[in-house]
Amino acid sequence: MLFGIGIVLGGGFVLVSYFIGQKKKSAEKEIPYECGLDPVGSSHQRFSVKFYLIAMLFILFDIEVVFLYPWAKIFNNFNDLGLGGLLFGEMAAFLGVLILGLAYVWKRGALEWE
């Protein structure tokens, strides 16, 4: 029922906006919006692959932090059960793989920004 109400309200808002909204077109409204500034250059310019590589590495290490927080939260509970060593070893292996990956991309020069 909640899903249906959401669809009806969403569709209703879109329809009301379509019928009530202004439809005056101008050259200024047709240009791409770039943070309130006039666009500079072509919208089809190519970005360096390094830009995407650094973005993916940032996401990878950000996910690492997301996994570390819940692990740290439950570590004492497992330590009380006598499984702290196992849990610590698994996290050490996980961090070891990530550190090896970081060393590899650092040695390959993927983190150098030109």
Task: Give the total number of structural domains in the chain.
Answer: 1
Residue 75 within a domain = yes
C-alpha–C-alpha distance, residues 98 and 64, integer Å: 8
Residue 1 within a domain = no
Tell me: the pLDDT tens digits for 2-59? 999 999 999 999 999 999 987 788 887 777 776 767 667 776 777 777 788 888 888 8
Residue 76 within a domain = yes
Angle at which helix 84-107 crosses helix 49-80, to 10 degrees, equals 170
The structure's pTM equals 0.52
Residue 87 within a domain = yes
Residue 41 within a domain = no
Residue 103 within a domain = yes
Domain that holds residue 64: 47-114
Q: What angle do CA 62, 103, 68 make, to 5 degrees?
A: 30
Q: What angle do CA 73, 77, 78 make, to 5 degrees?
A: 105
Tell me: the pLDDT tens digits for 93-111? 988 998 998 899 889 887 7
Specify the pLDDT at position 40.
Answer: 72
Specify the pLDDT at position 13.
Answer: 96
Residue 30 within a domain = no
Tell me: the pLDDT tens digits for 56-72? 888 888 888 888 888 88
Residue 33 within a domain = no
